[in-house]
A and B are shown apart, each in its own frame.
Chain A
Amino acid sequence: MDSIDDFSNKQLLTNELPDFEAVELQVLHPDYLKVMLIYAAIATFIPAAAFVAAIFLVEDAPLLLPIGLPILLIYMLFVFAGVIIGFKRRGYAIREHDIVYRSGFLSIKTTIIPFNRVQHIALHEALFPRMFKLAGIQLYTAGDESNDLSIDGLPKDIALRIKDLLASKIQGQ
């Protein structure tokens, strides 16, 4: 068992510590916005198609149009606004000892993983990002997978470089 002596913090002024809030986040490649818009289009196309089909097929539903259409429009607006605003907020920063990633539209999540807690790294290329020569990296820790880090929308060469860099950081421990 590690005792508390192993890591007790020598009286250091907390403002002197590096602040993760102060780092400048790297934005993702602009092409990734296109990819996300494709995803959003897919996500909105299905309910929209269902709605149109319902209008033609269901008879005697007077409330369908006045209630259904606004809900559909609000949903579509929400999805696309989420993608566009969410894209601007997304960003990552690689510091000396950890990686910071921020994402989200209405709920903004900042994740920080120290390199000495990373177990392995994977590089993945999904179908749509690959069309734009984009790739993503994923960091695995021993913690819950839902909070493991996945950064998509990086140019492939940069993704590769980050992967190698992180791999060397992990090996160096």
Chain B
Amino acid sequence: MADFETPQRQSIAGILVLFVFSLTNNIRHFATLLLVVFLRMREQPLYILLAILGLAVAFLVFAALKYWFFTFELNIQERNLLVKDGIINKTRTVIQFENIQQVSLNQSFIHKLTAVYEVIIDTAGSADAEVKIKAVSKEVAEKLKETLTQYVSAKALAETSTSEPEQQLAIVKVSVSSLVKASLTSNYFKTLALIIAFFFSIYETIEQANIEAISEEEVDALSKTFNYGMLLGVLLLVALFLLLVINFIRVFVRYFGLQIKQQETGLEFTYGLLSTRNTNIRPNKVQQLTIEQNILQRKLGIAVIKFTQAGGLLGKNGAVKSALDFPGIGSEEVQSIRKFILGDLPKAHTVLRSNWRKAVFSSFLVLIVPILALVFIPEIDTINRVIGVSVLMTVVLAWNFAALKNYRLEIADGYLYLHAGLWDKTVTVLPIHKMQSVNLVQLAWHKNLDLASLTIETAGGSFTFKLGNKSELSKFVNQWLFNIESSNPKWN
């Protein structure tokens, strides 16, 4: 095992992992068939049980064969990793050390049960850019990662010798209490929307059932005993409770034990309760970095940090995008992570703000449907209609104008900082040299107002600033183009 120079099999426990994987995959494929079988269970239980048993044995044999024929070996002399796979259709994958981008270890729930790890080897290049060694023991996984990373990091360091940050990022461990704080304070709007949708669908089903089952007199009697105000109150409380619980579980399960380690090639994020993920973020792959913090989180001193990365390299339709976000990170750690990824950020020399029309337009988009509903639903009386429309308009307009105050594009040498949001405040940092293309969009009637929206495309998604001063924006676009065209800085 010591140096992997002879063909290695996976850990024997790998059979179980492969078995479970092929089982879950096939259950997905044969879901409907299985349902039929289960419904027929009563008629011929013995045969069906036997059939299921037989199938399970077949899968187990298949898994064992897969295990037997899967080997990996390092060929130090020729500097490559050779992976052999397949029972009948055999594949040999050769990965040159030079092409390895990163090596990461994963542990899903079944891996945890059997105490093994999955090793994922990412390479630069084509679509099938990774090799997975599905189940090896901890020692083998770590040794393999270490051995391979030696070659990767040697090459990566040679590549990026210019600006490897000197400051050391100590291991950051996000404590359980930070995670609890993060889970209780994040994603209110998203979860609320989900819950509202959920309630509506329940309401609809109940209503349909009502129509069939309950006569009108009964409904009348019901509504007399029920106080609608109280009902609404209870519903709100339930919604709030659900919101907190759902958020709590989601954040907790996903990010439990979040730990950030600095490595030679980047930052390594390890996290997850049921399945442990291990993600490596290389600074030059990051296209945009967003720090998000709402008012509660600011009081608690935690924030969410998001990266958008260029995924695989130069696929046919451009690079694959991937975004990662990590909640519950202390303010100081956020600063050091940002510094590690982007280096020292220069101060902005110009601040561009958005025209008030942006607030009106975003309000319009939010208001149009509810206001039409209020105006055209015949059951509502006039007073409620007027009150409803004016309250809605006041709240939404006030919200959007307050958000507009925070909305701004700060321009520094080589970087853009976009500030947005009112409750969830975000700052998105875009290094200008990540730009792929630039767009200015102007509405015909904004010509005399000299307004336009700016969109910069990166390999990790768009970056948009709406309704700014067009002359100013054009001036900066010229400058950014000059920067990119004169020195051709690398974007990944």
Contact = CB atoms under 8 A, between A and B. Distances in A.
A98 B481 contact: yes
A1 B282 CA distance: 9
A79 to B, nearest CB: 16
A143 B487 contact: no
Nearest to B344: A4
A20 B438 CA distance: 11
Interface in A120-173: 140-145, 147-149, 173
B436 A142 contact: yes
Nearest to A14: B475
A7 B487 contact: yes
B318 to A, nearest CB: 5
Contacts of B435: 114, 117
Given A109-B441, A117-B491, A4 B414 contact: yes
A145 B459 CA distance: 10
Interface residues of B, number: 54
Nearest to B478: A17
Given A7-B414, A19-B474, A1 B284 contact: yes
B343 interface: yes
A173 B487 CA distance: 11
A20 B477 contact: yes
Contacts of B485: 97-98, 114-116
B15 to A, nearest CB: 41
Contacts of A149: 437
A58 to B, nearest CB: 23
B343 A1 contact: yes
Contact of A147 (B317, B439, B477): B439
Interface string A69-86: 000000000000000000
- Highest count of chain A CB atoms <10 Å: which of B342, B343, B481, B492: B481
B150 interface: no
Given A3-B343, A7-B489, A148 B437 contact: yes
B441 A142 contact: no
Interface in A41-69: none
Contacts of A8: 413-414
Contact of B479 (A9, A115, A173): A9
B442 A107 contact: yes
B310 interface: yes
Nearest to A105: B444
Interface string A4-18: 101111001010011
A21 B438 contact: no
A26 interface: no
Contacts of A38: none
Contacts of A6: 162, 433, 487, 489
B461 A114 contact: no
Contacts of B490: 2
A17 B479 contact: yes
Nearest to A2: B489
A7 B485 CA distance: 10
A111 B484 contact: no
A97 B441 CA distance: 22
A144 B479 contact: no
A166 B473 CA distance: 27
A106 B482 contact: no
A117 B484 CA distance: 9
A1 B474 contact: no
Contact of A7 (B433, B455, B458, B461): B433
Nearest to A173: B488
A8 B431 CA distance: 12
B24 interface: no
A26 B483 CA distance: 25
B346 interface: yes
Contacts of B314: 119, 142
A166 B160 CA distance: 29
Nearest to B442: A108
B424 interface: no
Given A2-B490, A141-B318, A143-B457, A19 B478 contact: yes
Interface string B302-320: 0000000010001001110
Closest 10 CB pairs of A and B: A143-B457, A143-B436, A97-B485, A142-B459, A3-B163, A141-B436, A113-B437, A7-B487, A1-B283, A142-B319
Given A98-B481, A173-B488, 11 more contacts: A2-B163, A4-B346, A17-B478, A19-B474, A112-B438, A113-B437, A114-B435, A143-B318, A143-B437, A147-B457, A149-B437
26 contacts: A1-B163, A1-B283, A2-B162, A2-B284, A2-B433, A2-B489, A3-B163, A6-B489, A7-B414, A14-B478, A17-B478, A18-B478, A107-B444, A108-B444, A109-B442, A110-B442, A111-B438, A111-B439, A141-B318, A141-B436, A142-B314, A142-B318, A142-B319, A142-B459, A145-B317, A147-B437
